[in-house]
């Protein structure tokens, strides 16, 4: 009984087969169609090579990164990027490149970032302490 049920489930999960409609096939000679296929495959290969060469001129993109942002800044950055029709990733890249070119801007941004790191570390310590106190009080 169990084997019958198992076979039924297996048969249900298989896709139904449909016969090929021979009325839609081309009536060309096989030799002519094969020469067209080789021409199409050759032209697609050359197009693919051209696209590959063109892609190699662009910089390679690193894997996607998840970043955590302050909630209010996240909303502002998203809105700004939507208005400018750019992505957050390209915005961050452009900011970094601008910092590399302007040392005053780089110093200002670095100081702000260091303050934010200190705040986040302090907040993390407070969250950990709070959760430990809650566990003790239970």
pLDDT digits (tens, 9 = 90+) for 121-134: 999 999 999 999 99
Query: In the Cβ-directed half-sphere of 62, how many Cα atoms lie within 13 Å?
Result: 5
Q: What is the mean pLDDT of residues 4-33?
A: 67
What per-residue confidence (pLDDT) applies to 31?
A: 53
Is residue 16 over pLDDT 70?
Answer: no
Kindly provide the residue ranges of all beta strands, DSSP E only, lying in the chain, ordered along the sequence: none
Query: In the Cβ-directed half-sphere of 102, how many Cα atoms lie within 13 Å?
Result: 11
Q: How far is it, in rounded angstroms, from Cα 69 to Cα 105? A: 21
Q: Is residue 70 within 8 Å of residue 76, measured between CB atoms?
A: no
Q: How far is it, in rounded angstroms, from Cα 61 to Cα 132? A: 41
């Amino acid at each position: 009984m169990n084997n019958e049920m198992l076979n039924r489930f297996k048969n249900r999960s298989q896709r139904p087969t449909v016969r090929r409609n021979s009325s839609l096939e081309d009536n060309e000679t096989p030799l002519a169609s094969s020469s067209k296929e080789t021409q199409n495959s050759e032209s697609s290969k050359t197009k693919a090579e051209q696209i590959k060469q063109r892609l190699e001129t662009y910089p390679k993109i690193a894997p996607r990164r998840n970043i955590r942002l302050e909630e209010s800044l996240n909303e502002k950055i998203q809105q700004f990027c939507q208005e400018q029709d750019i992505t957050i990733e390209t915005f961050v890249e452009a900011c970094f490149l601008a910092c590399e070119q302007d040392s005053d801007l780089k110093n200002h941004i670095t100081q702000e970032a260091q303050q934010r790191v200190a705040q986040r570390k302090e907040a993390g310590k407070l969250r950990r302490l709070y959760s430990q106190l809650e566990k003790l009080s239970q």
